Chains A and B, each alone.
Chain A
Amino acid sequence: MTREEVLVKINEIFRDAFDDESLEVSDATTANDIADWDSLMQMNLIEMVEDEFGFQFSMDEAAGLKNVGSMVDVVLAHC
């Protein structure tokens, strides 16, 4: 899977999670850019990414997330 393909799927996840069909995320998007992105949402996002791509984040991977780009990195490392 290419980086772009992963980002498209992750964007879909963000749209469902934040219930906002117009949401566009990029590698640089962080929790500061989306009002409802708190620690609970973070946990949900990780679960949704796991569901979508069929792997489990290790604790280090989950704790090391900085922005959407680092989420894509983790997916690419597994898929």
Chain B
Amino acid sequence: MDCFNYPIDVKTLRRKKASIRRTLLEQPNLIEKKIAVLGGSTTNEVVDQLELFLLSYGIKADFYQSEYGKYWEDAMFGSPELDGFEPDIIFIHTNWRNIIDFPQMNMDKTQVDDMLEAEYQRFEGMWQRLSEKFNCPIIQNNFERPNYRLMGNRDVWDYRGKANFVSRLNQKFYEYANEHTGFYINDIDYLAADFGISQWNDAKYWNMYKCINMDAITYIAQSVAFIIKSIYGRNKKVLALDLDNTLWGGIVGDDGVEGIKIGPEVPQGQVYAEFQQYCKNLKDIGAVLAVDSKNEEANALAGLNHPDGVLRPDDFVDIKANWEPKDRNLEQMASELTLGVDSFVFADDNPAEREIVSAQLPGVAVPAMDGAENYIKVLDHSGYFEVTNLSAEDMKKTDMYHAKAEASKAKAAFADYSEYLKSLDMKATITGFEPIIVQRVSQLTNKSNQFNLTTLRCSEDDIRAMEESDDYICMAGRLVDKFADNGIVTIVAGKIVGDALDISLWLMSCRVLKRGMEDLMMNQLVAEARAKGINKIVGHYYPTPKNAMVQDFFDDYGFSLTDTDDAGNKKWELNVGDYSEKVSYIENEILDREVQ
């Protein structure tokens, strides 16, 4: 499909996602792979696009996605879903915003070095844990340049600059990659530069959706797909090249050897010489070159022996210069080399020739080689020869570095989850539905789907009415940690009926899942209920297609299930006196909140 060829058609891949997917799923002989995507940002769109690109390589992927931003927790502490998933490949989709600490201007070099090491160890510990547990390839994003340069040009070389810090951190990632097989860097630093760093970092996307520019996501997905298909042996093997106006300017049969443009004399000649050099370099990474050209063989060889040329006849595994149709030549070459035609890339400046080859041999990759100055760019962006494994013998240094890795692992990260939670320096503020937050509270009730027990949708008026009523206990929780102020992340409201409190609303944003914020809210709710002389708390769970994650929420707090109906609606009760307070690692800033 054309939308996958350079330049990829981002708009069509987005708009026609569903129908493209359907078409590709009809291909025969798809191989199936399980891919775990551990994200430091929203991953759904990356996964959707990655699925398409992999299908275009004949790989049907099943995906696991970590909860939003939970890449590190999933890797370090596991989750039953991930463990049961048994991934074939793990992709850690992080970006510079996932770096916890950046240098401050008043820091000395040693402090920054320590900070760098701590940040690095957080990642290395994660990779080690994942490879021990799953023993599968890991793909890790490097970091792209941040969204601004505080010191301007100095930011990139001064040890306090964010840009410098990111670049040093990347270097440590690369060292790890060089020392470990089965570990691959997805180079988003390059992708961001290629895309345009300001567009890539467009603040709108991060602040509204917690992802980078949506258009850029397609390129990330493509890049990850390059790595994965290369791992599974789906790289191209042969680059079949036309000659006239592909490897040199002009037509050697008409213009003569002295008339073709190749070499330093004219700009066009330089461009072709550069392209020949690029092709020659492709040989060094294992690509095989061939010629498929409409020419007299003698003329073809004369052109390839031009003194200013880079490629020579013996650089090619086969030279088919004749007047046969090019698809016929290509097919013959394939059978001589005992390869499938789907191992071939056909590079030709003539759109008509390209058309014939792609129509006759659909498996052949046929890049749009338009304009000699674009040839390298087109091939280089197409990932045909993506290298994941280069000379296996050289890669056996793993053992030597193994001891070193073991030693550093001991330093890595945290002993258990509670230690990690403590390290987050979390502070919560719990308030009622005060006027300034009414809008946000209403909005959360309308858009939270997963961690939402009753999915009661409330207008701003509904919220105000609850706050003003004496019959309601209303709580809105804000959570701040050392990374960020997460804002208001959880809403609870209950109606007092006699000596009982009936919980009509309980929701939480998934971005603070597994932080213990719900424990703190329950502690607070029970405390307020007690203060109001309430003896019993009644909880409800109303199932929707999206809120299964909280079906047994109340069970964790000692509630007893008192009723379940056919629709799956559940009712729970708790005697306030029986509640045992949950341990929380969040500092509660309002324990003295006035109880109305």
Encode A34-54 as 1/0 by CB contact (under 8 A) with B: 010011100110011001000
Is A59 located at the chain interface by the 8 A CB criterion? yes
Is B449 located at the chain interface by the 8 A CB criterion? yes
A19 touches B19 (CB 8 A): yes
Which of B15, B203, B209, B546 is close to A51, meaning CB atoms less than 8 Å apart? B15
B45 touches A16 (CB 8 A): no
Which residues of B sit under 8 angstroms from A17, Cβ to Cβ? 15
Which residues of B sit under 8 angstroms from A47, Cβ to Cβ? 14, 214-215
A40 touches B449 (CB 8 A): no
A63 touches B208 (CB 8 A): yes
Encode B14-36 as 1/0 by CB contact (under 8 A) with A: 11101100000000000000000
- Chain B residues within 8 Å of chain A by Cβ, number: 22
Which residues of A sit under 8 angstroms from B14, Cβ to Cβ? 44, 47-48, 51
Is A68 located at the chain interface by the 8 A CB criterion? no
Is A74 located at the chain interface by the 8 A CB criterion? no
Cα distance A62–B205 when bound, in Å? 10
Is A6 located at the chain interface by the 8 A CB criterion? no
A40 touches B45 (CB 8 A): yes
Is B42 located at the chain interface by the 8 A CB criterion? yes
A40 touches B42 (CB 8 A): yes
CB within 8 Å of B: which of A19-37? 19, 32, 35
Which of A16, A38, A59 is close to B208, meaning CB atoms less than 8 Å apart? A59
B214 touches A43 (CB 8 A): yes
Cα distance A43–B211 when bound, in Å? 10
Which residues of B sit under 8 angstroms from A43, Cβ to Cβ? 45, 208-209, 211, 214
Is B204 located at the chain interface by the 8 A CB criterion? yes
Is B154 located at the chain interface by the 8 A CB criterion? no
Is B580 located at the chain interface by the 8 A CB criterion? no
A39 touches B447 (CB 8 A): yes
Which of B11, B18, B45 is close to A19, meaning CB atoms less than 8 Å apart? B18
Q: How far is the CB of B510 from chain A (nearest CB, A)?
A: 11
- Closest residue of chain A to B42 (Cβ to Cβ) is A40
Which residues of B sit under 8 angstroms from A40, Cβ to Cβ? 42, 44-45, 209
Q: How far is the CB of B351 from chain A (nearest CB, A)?
A: 26
Q: How far is the CB of A19 from chain B (nearest CB, A)?
A: 4
Cα distance A2–B42 when bound, in Å? 36
A16 touches B18 (CB 8 A): yes
Known: A16-B16, A39-B447. A44 touches B45 (CB 8 A): yes
Q: How far is the CB of A38 from chain B (nearest CB, A)?
A: 6
- Closest residue of chain B to A63 (Cβ to Cβ) is B208
Main secondary structure of the interface of A (DSSP, over half): helix
B207 touches A16 (CB 8 A): no
Known: A38-B449, A39-B447, A44-B45. A62 touches B208 (CB 8 A): yes
Which residues of B sit under 8 angstroms from A58, Cβ to Cβ? 204
Which residues of B sit under 8 angstroms from A13, Cβ to Cβ? 15
- Closest residue of chain A to B546 (Cβ to Cβ) is A38
Which residues of B sit under 8 angstroms from A63, Cβ to Cβ? 208
Known: A39-B447, A40-B44. A62 touches B204 (CB 8 A): yes
Which residues of B sit under 8 angstroms from A32, Cβ to Cβ? 457
A16 touches B15 (CB 8 A): yes
B11 touches A51 (CB 8 A): yes
Known: A39-B447, A43-B45. A59 touches B204 (CB 8 A): yes
- Closest residue of chain B to A20 (Cβ to Cβ) is B18
Cα distance A78–B589 when bound, in Å? 46
Cα distance A9–B96 when bound, in Å? 37
Cα distance A61–B209 when bound, in Å? 14
Cα distance A39–B368 when bound, in Å? 37
A59 touches B207 (CB 8 A): yes
Cα distance A19–B15 when bound, in Å? 10
- Closest residue of chain A to B204 (Cβ to Cβ) is A59
Which residues of A sit under 8 angstroms from B211, Cβ to Cβ? 43
Which residues of B sit under 8 angstroms from A57, Cβ to Cβ? 204
Q: How far is the CB of A21 from chain B (nearest CB, A)?
A: 10
Encode B203-230 as 1/0 by CB contact (under 8 A) with A: 1100111010011000000000000000
- Closest residue of chain B to A13 (Cβ to Cβ) is B15
Q: How far is the CB of B442 from chain A (nearest CB, A)?
A: 13
Which residues of A sit under 8 angstroms from B15, Cβ to Cβ? 13, 16-17, 48, 51
Q: How far is the CB of B49 from chain A (nearest CB, A)?
A: 11
Cα distance A3–B215 when bound, in Å? 27
Q: How far is the CB of A70 from chain B (nearest CB, A)?
A: 15
Which residues of A sit under 8 angstroms from B209, Cβ to Cβ? 39-40, 43
Cα distance A16–B14 when bound, in Å? 9
Cα distance A57–B207 when bound, in Å? 14
- Closest residue of chain A to B12 (Cβ to Cβ) is A51
Q: How far is the CB of A25 from chain B (nearest CB, A)?
A: 16
- Closest residue of chain A to B457 (Cβ to Cβ) is A32
| Besides the known contacts A44-B45, A51-B11, 6 further A-B residue pairs in the complex with CB atoms under 8 A apart | A17-B15, A40-B44, A48-B15, A59-B204, A62-B204, A63-B208
Question: A residues within 8 Å of B by Cβ?
Answer: 13, 16-17, 19, 32, 35, 38-40, 43-44, 47-48, 51, 57-59, 62-63
30 contacts between A and B (CB under 8 A): A13-B15, A16-B16, A16-B18, A17-B15, A19-B18, A19-B19, A32-B457, A35-B545, A38-B449, A39-B209, A39-B447, A40-B44, A40-B209, A43-B45, A43-B208, A43-B211, A43-B214, A44-B45, A44-B214, A47-B14, A47-B214, A48-B15, A51-B14, A51-B15, A57-B204, A58-B204, A59-B207, A62-B204, A62-B208, A63-B208
Q: Which 5 A-B pairs have the closest CB atoms?
A: A19-B18, A51-B11, A43-B209, A59-B204, A47-B214
